[in-house]
Structure 1
């Protein structure tokens, strides 16, 4: 393996990077003793991985659970495992999982023709650390449930996705000079490689460098909020498995989560909007053009064959954006959560609307989100969709 000095990239100028605090309370990211599958006991890695739990419908989850006793989905909730004690501890005792010395990991994930690298590490979560920023609101009941699951299962079975744009001193998106490849998984859906970084110089360099970073929570808000709540409860920092995506080197795909809802709820949005203007939309391409041009406080409402761009009133609190205002109107109208569907693909929505209506939100962008959250604001719940999301099961962490 090449020495650290040979792998340096130097300082890279990155437009849009937020300013850094003059003093840092310490590293954000640390190496951890990762858990990895032993294929001799557990079977091929490709058969044990799973999409993030929020991406699984009931039938897919059922099929995964039935496919292998070691598929990672068994670790998501206590009720998915009927054995005595914690499943993760049984798997360790049976040799299905092995534990490494403290390391960072780079996961190379190729899926749908797209390659993304993730730096896997242990995030320190503290009640007074302002370097990690959620960008969406959370449901309190979901935070409570998530904390209970984490503490009951005793394992981080999938990482929280965080996005970063600040320079790293080591180019970990090219992991070969920094570590060794320890896992390869391939099936008809994806190709995954896991690289272990355990050289002491590499670990020190990345750990120290992380102190100057600020992370944007992209996916996994409820897990982060749950661990933050535990830190506040206990008066001591807690930790969480995260996968860092370097948006400056490999830009993530960030989309709005549009709303598909009953026509009456969309008509209430139109009625409550302070300003509105009719637009002509004839096809999915027209939707995409208008959505791309929407301002932060605008939305496109398609209802009863008409298309209208609405201007939302200025926000009065820290939750901002047209999505938050639309949700407030829809909830106030009495529309339940089960009556609203959240979809990132505007073209697919247009072609399948049927007798329902749609509210299309403006296209979000990572630098604008970073500026927003660093100023103390956030978007409403379920407003964005980041892609790609890291698969569950490549590397796990004991809690």
Structure 2
């Protein structure tokens, strides 16, 4: 179903660009203005000079200059890339997530091959499309999930790139990548705006090259794959809280006890913990919803999000928030099920961690 294949990547040459740790960055949409300034000051070749430029045409000039001077060099032959990321999650557990970077053919969602699970907004897509029109290069990957084993194993040799817990192996294969994804559907875990921008770009250009994008694909079986919850913190208690269709099944003086009780529940009914200054209540809603859908009934006024329950409860304890709603992490099968029905999740439903590193691989289109 999905068309995935090796590609000729653009990569930094440290001999001309400088140390790799000064060149990479987080994805553009999680970088603050202050972080952007700091990253761009760390090196004249930091990837944010392309992903967060002063202007789109300026990024195109920068990219052309880097390629002309050998700062970025294109691989002579197509390859796929095995990527490992070591990380410690918000739950304090150390993991290693393994994915495969390759070229993905973009298809409309209606084809049923690429499945979204989040709603996008026009502004970010327009910004990214202006940039893509100028640079003709996919500067950052999207993050996709699939069911089944990976088509390539990690090579038994030192990595070709290594930076801050991320290791990359270049692999030239004999069709294993294309064959391995031929009958698979892909779920976009992160990068919906980038994917839809790639679709819009291909509609404009209509070339074989414009119909590809850069993707990192991770098996749902991967031991390091984890979805973390996004707890809701309200500066003021939402008016809809009183009409939330829930049963209070237990009350606790301690949030840790309430979280333990929440973890013991099955997923047949949605559940959440309502944490206020005086107590923690375990709430259970009617069947047919997920935890995030239940708490989304509360609206979004004065809301903030955190994957760490202790941060959510601390905001209430300090008097910075009236109430926090703590939820369970979604299961991978829940996200696939919603996407297959053609539905989308509420805002901030999933938190895939860590984010992919930008600047390791670029995909000319």
Return the alpha-carbon distance in structure 2 between the equivalents of residues 381 and 91 of structure 1: 38
Alignment check: 8 A CA contact 2:244 2:297 kept: no
Alignment check: 8 A CA contact 1:126 1:231 kept: no
1:195 to 161, 169, 175: 169
Deviation at 1:149, TM superposition (A): 3.3
Return the alpha-carbon distance in structure 1 between the equivalents of residues 127 and 262 of structure 2: 35
Alignment check: 8 A CA contact 2:152 2:176 kept: no
Output aligned runs, 1:72-221, within 5 Å: 72-79=47-54, 83=58, 85-100=60-75, 101-112=77-88, 113-127=94-108, 128-168=110-150, 170-172=151-153, 174-176=154-156, 181-185=159-163, 190-199=164-173, 201=174, 204-221=175-192
Q: Report the 3-state secondary structure (helix = DSSP H, G, I; strand = E; otherwise coil) of the residue aligned with 2:25.
A: coil
* The 10-residue stretch of structure 1 (56-65 or 100-109) with the greater mean CA deviation from structure 2: 56-65
Deviations 1:69-90 (A, max 9, x none): 1111221133278957432222
Alignment check: 8 A CA contact 2:104 2:212 kept: yes
Q: Report the 3-state secondary structure (helix = DSSP H, G, I; strand = E; otherwise coil) of the residue aligned with 1:323.
A: helix
Alignment check: 8 A CA contact 1:259 1:341 kept: yes
Residue equivalent to 1:5 = none
- State whether structure 2 residue 256 is matched by structure 1 residue 256: no
Alignment check: 8 A CA contact 2:23 2:43 kept: yes
* The 10-residue stretch of structure 1 (36-45 or 73-82) with the greater mean CA deviation from structure 2: 73-82
Output aligned runs, 1:301-380, within 5 Å: 301-311=274-284, 321-324=290-293, 326-331=295-300, 335=301, 339-353=302-316, 354-355=318-319, 356=321, 357-380=323-346
Taking structure 1 as the reference length, the TM-score comes to 0.78
Deviation at 1:390, TM superposition (A): 1.9
Unpaired runs of at least 5, structure 2? 89-93
Unpaired runs of at least 5, structure 1? 1-23
Deviations 1:17-75 (A, max 9, x none): xxxxxxx4xx4212111011101110111221112233333332221111101111221
Deviation at 1:94, TM superposition (A): 1.6
Alignment check: 8 A CA contact 1:301 1:308 kept: yes
Alignment check: 8 A CA contact 1:81 1:87 kept: no
Return the alpha-carbon distance in structure 2 between the equivalents of residues 139 and 232 of structure 1: 18
Alignment check: 8 A CA contact 1:163 1:215 kept: yes
Matched residue pairs, number? 351
Residue equivalent to 1:17 = none
Alignment check: 8 A CA contact 2:229 2:328 kept: yes
Q: Report the 3-state secondary structure (helix = DSSP H, G, I; strand = E; otherwise coil) of the residue aligned with 2:86.
A: strand
Residue equivalent to 1:21 = none
CA distance 1:294–1:282, shift in 2 (3 Å): farther
Return the alpha-carbon distance in structure 1 between the equivalents of residues 204 and 266 of structure 2: 41
- State whether structure 2 residue 280 is matched by structure 1 residue 273: no
Alignment check: 8 A CA contact 2:253 2:280 kept: no
Taking structure 2 as the reference length, the TM-score comes to 0.85
